[in-house]
Amino acid sequence: MIRRISCLASLGALALALATAAPGQSAEPAYGSWGIDPAAMDGAVNPGDDFFAYVNGAWSKRTEIAADRTFVGIDSVLNDQIEKDVRSIIEDQAHNPAANGLSGQQVGDFYASFMDEAGIEALGAAPLRPYLARIDAVKNRAELATLFGSTGYTSPIGLFFSPNPDVPTRYSVFATQSGLGMPGRDYYLLPGPKYVAFRKAYRDYVIKIQTLAGIPGAAAKTDRIIALETAIARVHWTPERSRDTKATTNPMTLAELKAFAPDFDWDRFLAAQGITNPGTIIVQEKSAIADEAKLVASQPLDDWKDYLAYRFASSSAPYLPKSFAVANFDFYSKTLRDVPTERPRWKRGVSLVNASLGEAVGHIYVQRHYPAESDRQMGELISDIRAALKDKIDHSGWMDAATKAEAATKLASFDPRTGHPVKYIDYSTLKVTRGDLLGNVMRAHEFEEKRQLALFPKPVDRAQWGMLPQTNNAYYDPSTNQITFPAAILQPPYFDPRADPAANYGSIGATIGHEIGHGFDDQGRLYDGTGRLSDWWTAASAKAYGVQTAALVKQYDGYEPIPGTHIKGELTLGENIGDLGGLEVAYAAYRRYVAKHGEPPVIDALTGDQRFFIAYGYSWQSKFREGVVRNQLLTDPHSPAAYRVNGVVRNVDAWYRAFNVRPGNKMYLPPERRVHIW
């Protein structure tokens, strides 16, 4: 998955699109004369010294991040438009819910319940009371395990359903580490004044939330809660280790799991979630789950109850009076992510309805904003990129013949999905009541849990989507070998049929290449074309691949976006492979296009190849707050945006030729040190 806006459409048909704009539609691209805003560029920067700044430097100097945002950039243009479109849909339902059937009533009433600030203030902390009372009533660890498995309550061990890596046509239950109140283990464990300050602010927040909720003895309870969470953090696997597919695939029967982690009441925990016959359970972070089970048994029952009460109140804070929401925002956004101002309430309401009734909203979004032509164009583009990657596989210098044959088989079996699901989620059993915001949220959680449970243990439903149609992102699922591109990304500024083909290949084409490339990244490559975890690589090809990926890890380990905090090369390896391989494949596809249509003209004193790489850099135009970048570096498998540009292009030979990059330029790498995935 790539966590940014990207748009996808036909590149093979661009020449026709350029010449035949729709009636009433401008023949000019939305940005500049060929697809980007030239005013973003800083001509004083040598492209071989800092390519990201060369492409985006002038924009960066004049652009500030809005007070209620974590970032600003090319992404936010499309974000804003989608948010406005979805708001219009939701408010239409809220103003006239009866006119749009049950789903319209649900969407409208859910949004209205969030926007009723006066009603929320009048209720105060009362909506919490029945949930806190249930915690208070727990008398032993058996009842504690039941609560861990109940809707809305936190657990140190999480469960979810996903295709079985060994039998990808069937769902299995997965058990994974969980239970932290801060974003990751490093926030609890790293030394230094920054992290000490975070931990102090967290203590203040835990006290504040409990006090607002009417929980007595908040200060003493807070120290025990944080001590408990710190103990959990110490046994958690690092993010790098947790993304190791082989290490996190440990199938066990329930009897084996009970023997492996006997300190946890698995029967009660599973039964609370409606799972009576789990079959094979895939245990992810083995040692962490065993150690968390020991903590459940060894730590005082009252400490766990205090932990559960605080965590429930904290997670509910956005749906309670303003004092709760402000405290939650002040810690998680202002302190940890450096965001000074909360988003307007309507935006938070839109996000909540999307999270709770997303496909009901998405169905309307597709009707209003997704032209059927986009599916045809997407099919053409994906075909172009697949052909380029097939050629890359056939001519790979590090793959032997047997591995090439298997790779080609996997590529041929890719299942691309565009726009929207073929069938939408039926929310008809979800009760939504105006004036009961927290109840609506809890019932939405319960509905989704039951919906997921209904899938198990049936065969995998390949029609299920992991993103909403109104989501500006894309993803690859190795267990189904599917690539998915929601409707919302199929529009400018990331794809413009009136723009220069080089611009579309450089931005959208690289995105497609990235998603397809995840099937061959360091973890995705471990799955075959059916989605089964299978070592289909010969030892020689795997070793040669490992040489390239080890070099990429070393490169990214050396980048230091924040003084004292480096990119984690192992954690970000999969996404870095996707970025590099995606750009290599997109460039190959662009040169195939040029071979068919002829070398493009020089535009704005830039060649086609230069425009291709500039468009790639422009597609990552963004500025993030330091706190957001810090969280990303500690927990996220994606590198910061500037390094998804500079860290990639310096490995691509064609970039050196396009911009005459020479020894002495800051980004120059000798040919023997450049990493080539494809």
> Which SS3 state, helix, strand or coil, does residue 485 take?
strand
In angstroms, what CA-CA distances link 157 with 117, 270, 360, 538? 35, 11, 31, 37
Give CA–CA dist 646/503, Å, rounded: 18
Q: Are 131 and 319 in contact (CB under 8 A)?
A: no
Give CA–CA dist 305/136, Å, rounded: 7
pLDDT in tens, 385-433: 999 999 999 999 999 999 999 999 999 999 999 999 999 999 999 999 9
- Residue 122 above 60 pLDDT? yes
Q: What is the pLDDT of residue 28?
A: 87
CA-angle at 151, arms to 148 and 152, nearest 5°: 85
Give CA–CA dist 614/92, Å, rounded: 41
Among the listed residues 652, 506, 373, 382, the one whose alpha carbon sits nearest the alpha carbon of residue 34? 506
In whole numbers, what is the pLDDT of the chain averaged over residues?
93
Q: State both tokens at 448.
A: 């989704």
Q: What is the pLDDT of residue 22?
A: 38
Q: State both tokens at 374.
A: 């986009």
pLDDT in tens, 630-666: 999 999 999 999 999 999 999 999 999 999 999 999 9
* Predicted confidence band of residue 7 (pLDDT cuts 50, 70, 90): very low
Domains and CATH numbers, the chain: 14-85+349-421+465-673 (3.40.390.10), 126-341 (1.10.1380.10)
Q: Is the Cα torsion angle 499, 502, 507, 508 positive or negative in sign?
A: positive
Q: State both tokens at 659.
A: 């911009």
For the range 524-527, what are the long-range contacts, defined as Cβ-Cβ under 8 Å and sequence gap of 24 or more? 524/476, 524/478, 524/574, 526/245, 526/246, 526/478, 527/165, 527/168, 527/478, 527/479, 527/481
**Non-local CB neighbours of 256 within 8 Å, separated by 6+ positions:** none
CA-angle at 136, arms to 133 and 138, nearest 5°: 120
Q: What is the pLDDT of residue 13?
A: 34
pTM of the full predicted structure? 0.91
Q: State both tokens at 545.
A: 């691949």
pLDDT in tens, 33-56: 999 999 999 999 999 999 999 999
